[in-house]
Amino acid sequence: MFHVYEQGGVNVIEVAADLDIASSGALASAIELAAHMPHRRTVVNLVDCQYCDSTGLSVLVRAKRRLGERLVIVGPSRSAGRRAFEITELTEALALCTTLEEALTIPERPIGGSTQADQRIA
């Protein structure tokens, strides 16, 4: 369901399942685990996620509030998975990247610095 690994000094959580009430608790646990790993940034890769309901969105919003810019989300590429983000207008608020490569190359800001996306989600 979730694969957690390190790539280029970044924690990556690959989500290869629907993100719904049955799986959102496991994602929250994976994000919490990654947040305590030695690398500063965590990427949640939802490229292969085909469906996301409100419980999945809630986990991502709570994690973004807690971790701020330390959490980067790669948005679902399929229209069905992306629809929930677009309907709730979380595409910009969560600052979704389109590819893992893009997420891995985002420059880190100094601790305490905030982005417009961080301010929208707060």
Residue spans of the domains in the chain: they are 2-106
- Check residues 102 and 117 and name the one with the higher pLDDT: 102
Per-residue confidence band for 81, with pLDDT thresholds at 50, 70 and 90: confident
| pTM for this model (two decimals) | 0.83
pLDDT in tens, 63-72: 999 888 889 9
Q: What topology is assigned to 2-106 in CATH?
A: Transcription Regulator spoIIAA (3.30.750)
pLDDT in tens, 7-62: 988 999 999 889 999 999 999 999 998 888 877 899 999 998 888 999 999 999 99
**DSSP-assigned letter for residue 4:** E
* DSSP labels, 44-100: EE-TT---B-HHHHHHHHHHHHHHGGGEEEE---SHHHHHHHHHTTHHHHTT-BSSH
CA gap 76, 2 in Å, rounded: 15
- Residue 8: per-residue pLDDT: 87
Instruction: List 71's β-bridge partners, or say none.
Output: 42
Question: What's the Cα-to-Cα distance from 57 to each of 19, 37, 111, 112, rounded to whole Å?
Answer: 8, 23, 25, 25
Look at the alpha carbons of 59, 95, 112, 3 in this order and tell me if their dihedral is positive or negative: positive
